[in-house]
Chain A
Amino acid sequence: MATIHPKLSEELSQTVVSSTKSVKLKIKRSNPNVNSEQKFDDFVVPIEKWTTVLDALLDVKSHLDHSVGVRYSCRQASCGSCGMKINGKPALACFTKISELNSDSITVEPMDNYPVVRDLAVNMDRMISNHKKVMPYVIREDSEIDAESGIREFLQSPENVDKYIQFSSCIKCGLCNSACPTMAMDKTFVGPQALAQAYRYIADSRDKGKNKRLKVIDESHGIWRCHFAGSCSQVCPKGVDPAMGIQLLRGYLLGIRD
């Protein structure tokens, strides 16, 4: 159990605690910049039925230990900053209610397959660079702004939108890459996040960059290293199905899709 600093305990005494329930939060602590030590610190925090794991972590930061390292921003599953392993499963801390975990003890750890910056914060450079590699934007020669006719639209039918819309919900939280067994083994694998985004733009009827993207992913550590474990789709908080996107992309490369 972590000890409470005298100054922090003053803050604790000012906290209005209406809840009668509490939960033990086990937070994995490490700071690779200082040493290789890894440990779990336990904190008991009050909870309500709506308390999320992020709320509990911020409670710890506010009243028990300011030094807990956690990345967060929007608190509403939109920014994708607070990805972490909660009771062994990658999830967004702001989108995981403690009451739904059905446990008196919650273990939070940094996401797998990412280098740890400190405690629960990880370095996402690899994911961002793979994301950039697949050119996540509509590629075409002409523009919506036309010199002669002014602004025009690249219209799409609802059927065209249906082909990619679920993949555009990706918030780049990185949970899929964290759950991927190939990412754990292959340090140069492009990953489900980037592959799903490659599909999102290739399937977009406005896009003309299919061949460029397929060339990027059709290499020895690209799309073919996916074993279709499906864990990426299991953990996505936005309902994106990267595993399906990867299979659909393979269809283009095998010549069974146009």
Chain B
Amino acid sequence: MMVLRESIIMKIHYGTAIGALFLTVVHILMRLTQDFHESLQYENVIANYENIGYAVLLELLLILISVHGFNGLRVILLEMNQGPTYEKAVTIGCLIGMAALIAYGSRTIIMTSMGMV
């Protein structure tokens, strides 16, 4: 079932963690460009999405966290139970969950940055 070797998956896991950490720091620093409370107001949040650079940052953050999070969930579930059918179901389920979350999040980012909300 497993197409990638576990070491490749874990390299992706560690890489996405480092990437997400870096982008989260940038994301938080962006809050400091104005008063924190003010930065969370609806108009300012929408304005952030309409900044293409910031939208790309959010999209990357979404992908990195989804890949890292769902692989983490796969690892936990593989430890809780074993068996070929179970493992296949967990792997496929996590891949579907990851794809669905990225698709839904991307839809939100794209629609907002295009002024559709």
B-contacting residues of A (Cβ < 8 Å)? 182, 185-189, 218-225, 253-254
B23 to chain A, nearest CB (A): 22
State whether A225 touches B82 (Cβ < 8 A).
no
A222 proximity list for chain B (CB < 8 A): 6
B54 to chain A, nearest CB (A): 33
6 closest cross-chain pairs (CB), A and B? A253-B7, A218-B7, A186-B79, A185-B79, A188-B82, A224-B10
Task: Tell me whether chain A's interface is mostly helix, strand or loop, or mixed.
Answer: loop
B78 proximity list for chain A (CB < 8 A): 186, 220-221, 225
Out of B6, B10, B82, name the residue touching A186 (CB < 8 Å). Answer: B82
State whether A182 touches B79 (Cβ < 8 A).
yes
* Per-residue A-contact encoding for B5-38, CB less than 8 Å = 1, 0 else: 1110111001000000000000000000000000
A-contacting residues of B (Cβ < 8 Å)? 2, 5-7, 9-11, 14, 75, 78-80, 82, 87
- Give the CA-CA distance A182 to B2 in the complex, in Å: 21
Out of A186, A187, A254, name the residue touching B11 (CB < 8 Å). Answer: A254
A254 proximity list for chain B (CB < 8 A): 7, 10-11, 14
A189 proximity list for chain B (CB < 8 A): 79
State whether B82 touches A218 (Cβ < 8 A).
no
B9 proximity list for chain A (CB < 8 A): 224
State whether A218 touches B5 (Cβ < 8 A).
yes
State whether B6 touches A220 (Cβ < 8 A).
yes
